[in-house]
Amino acid sequence: MDSFLIKGGTPLHGEVQISGAKNAVLPIMAATLLTSEPCVIHGVPDLSDVKFMGQILGWLGAKVSVEGGTVRIHARKIKGDGDYDLVRKMRGSVCIMGPLLGRLKNTRVSLPGGCVIGARPINLHLKGFAALGAKIRIEKGYVKASARRLVGAAMFLGGRAGSTVLGTANVVMAAVLAEGVTVIESAACEPEVVDLINFLNAMGAKISGAGSPTLTITGVKQLHGAEHEVIPDRIEAATYAIAAAATNGEVLIKGARVDHLHAVLDKLREAGVVVERKGANLLVRRNGRLKSSDVTTLPYAGFPTDVQAQMMALMTQAPGISIITERIFESRFMHVSELARLGAEVEIEGPSAIVKGGKPLSGAEVMASDLRASAALVIAGLAAKGTTQVNRVYHIDRGYENIDGKLRGLGARIQRIEET
């Protein structure tokens, strides 16, 4: 497995271009299964998760071609069986269930894999499908959903940790071809869900309320092909902003959507980081010493759980005590033990991590446990004295396009050690 070798202590300077959003492009790719006509998606990042989704769509019968950042998908004739060996590789693959059920009225998909960050059941997905009239069975690790016809219904999709992003996407994709009107209460408001809805509406769907907790879907008989540009990745933008702050650098983040980053930018400013909007770009730099800051992850528009680990890495550099509370996933502190190997002082108390910051980090060999933990360890390694080796970086390749190359472009001393 590939590793990153990082020689820390160098401030990041320069410009970095943000890629398309991973969490938007995966359900958008799945949505192409809803039509027999060709679809074109632009701004697609070069990620292992995107490649896996392309393989899954190919397995289902779609023709998938990639040229640069453009993906063309033609799902003229498809089957409804999601293979375990492909689906198990990432949780995002579960979003093929909605479009398969919507178009074929029958699907059998393996329960998904992905990062080990706590239980992420799909019960709300299945609740939504059942409300539309589907019969659900779970057998031998597969979910089977079938219906003679799907009929619009009113439903509530809120869960213990709030709304479900993938669940909302899945149910919306099943509902667009259902008869009648579907109303989803406690729908996810994330920009990635809005982007999916914009794509579906471009395909001929009738969905209103995007970006609000209430979605209204008026079913249509069929969808047609469409062309779409994926939104920039707000989590990638936040990661580079935090990396700039952690290394006492100055970075112009090109293509960042400031309107998608309010909670993150607010906390960065609270921590003593200067954030300036420069047209369609974002300039991030330190303004003297960092300040401790408390963070609680919440559904959008709150602070994203996908930025929690990176923010923790930054707070190890801020003198004082910061309390980081995780309200979305119960096991998303697996990076804490690895940060400790670099000298970080972090104690876990229930859903909160207490960070005693300000002590210099020193390089060490660490192991990445999941996608965002990988990013946190890279940030910590960039800020640490000496050399840090981050192992199992296949996790980070799932969600960050060419992160080592982009960081080198900012002056970071990072190299990839390829598996031999």
pLDDT value at residue 83:
67
* Sequence-ordered list of residues with C-beta below 8 angstroms from that of 304, at least 6 positions apart, any chain: 234, 235, 238, 263, 264, 297
Q: Which percentage of the chain shows pLDDT scores above 70?
A: 96
Cα–Cα distance measured from residue 66 to residue 43, given in angstroms and rounded to the nearest whole number: 11
Question: Left (φ > 0), alpha (ψ -120 to 50) or beta: where does 343 sit?
Answer: left
Cα–Cα distance measured from residue 100 to residue 201, given in angstroms and rounded to the nearest whole number: 18
Residue ending a domain, among 204, 229, 254, is: 229
Does residue 240 sit in the same domain as residue 332?
yes
Residue ending a domain, among 177, 201, 229, is: 229
Does residue 74 sit in the same domain as residue 161?
yes
pLDDT value at residue 89:
66
b/e per residue 268-295 (b: at least 16 CB within 10 A): beebbbebeeeeebbbbbbeeebbbbeb
Categorize the per-residue pLDDT at 420 as very low, low, confident or very high, splitting at 50, 70 and 90: low
Q: Catalytic pick from 39, 95, 115, 189?
A: 115
Q: What is the mean pLDDT of residues 310-314?
A: 98
Q: What's the CATH code of the domain at 113? A: 3.65.10.10
pLDDT value at residue 112:
67
For 223-270, write each residue's pLDDT tens digit.
999 999 999 999 999 999 999 999 999 999 999 999 999 999 999 999
- Asked about 39 being catalytic, the answer comes back as no
Residue 338: which of 302, 305, 363 has the closest Cα? Answer: 363
Asked if 4 contacts 389 with a C-beta cutoff of 8 angstroms, the reply is: yes
Categorize the per-residue pLDDT at 1 as very low, low, confident or very high, splitting at 50, 70 and 90: confident
Residue 312: which of 284, 338, 286 has the closest Cα? Answer: 338
294-396-264 Cα angle (round to 5): 25
Asked if 354 contacts 347 with a C-beta cutoff of 8 angstroms, the reply is: yes
**How many CB atoms are located within 10 Å of the residue 328 CB?**
23
Residue ending a domain, among 207, 229, 251, is: 229
Q: What is the mean pLDDT of residues 48-62?
A: 93
Domain count, the chain: 2
Q: What is the mean pLDDT of residues 302-323?
A: 98
Does residue 241 sit in the same domain as residue 290?
yes
Does residue 202 sit in the same domain as residue 286?
no
For 328-358, write each residue's pLDDT tens digit.
987 789 999 999 999 999 999 999 999 999 9
Which has more pLDDT, 141 or 58? Answer: 58
189's tokens: 């408001």
pLDDT value at residue 360:
96
Does residue 236 sit in the same domain as residue 150?
no
168-170-173 Cα angle (round to 5): 105
Does residue 29 sit in the same domain as residue 132?
yes
Average pLDDT, the chain: 94
Does residue 70 sit in the same domain as residue 203?
yes
Does residue 14 sit in the same domain as residue 45?
no
Residue type, 198: N
For tokens 């006492």, the residue is: 248
Does residue 210 sit in the same domain as residue 238?
no
Does residue 223 sit in the same domain as residue 255?
no
Q: Which percentage of the chain shows pLDDT scores above 90?
A: 87
The answer, yes or no, to whether residue 157 has pLDDT greater than 50, is: yes
Q: What is the mean pLDDT of residues 38-60?
A: 95
Does residue 9 sit in the same domain as residue 35?
no
For 74-131, write each residue's pLDDT tens digit.
999 999 887 667 676 676 688 999 999 999 999 998 876 544 434 447 889 999 999 9
pLDDT value at residue 419:
78
Residues of the domain holding 58: 22-229
The answer, yes or no, to whether residue 28 has pLDDT greater than 70, is: yes
Does residue 248 sit in the same domain as residue 394?
yes
Residue 173: which of 102, 244, 226, 238 has the closest Cα? Answer: 102
DSSP 176-201: TTSBSEEEEES----HHHHHHHHHHH
For tokens 């559904």, the residue is: 299
Asked if 376 contacts 353 with a C-beta cutoff of 8 angstroms, the reply is: no
Asked if 275 contacts 269 with a C-beta cutoff of 8 angstroms, the reply is: yes
DSSP 196-253: HHHHHHHTT-EEE-TTSSEEEEE--S-----EEEPPB-HHHHHHHHHHHHHTT-EEEE
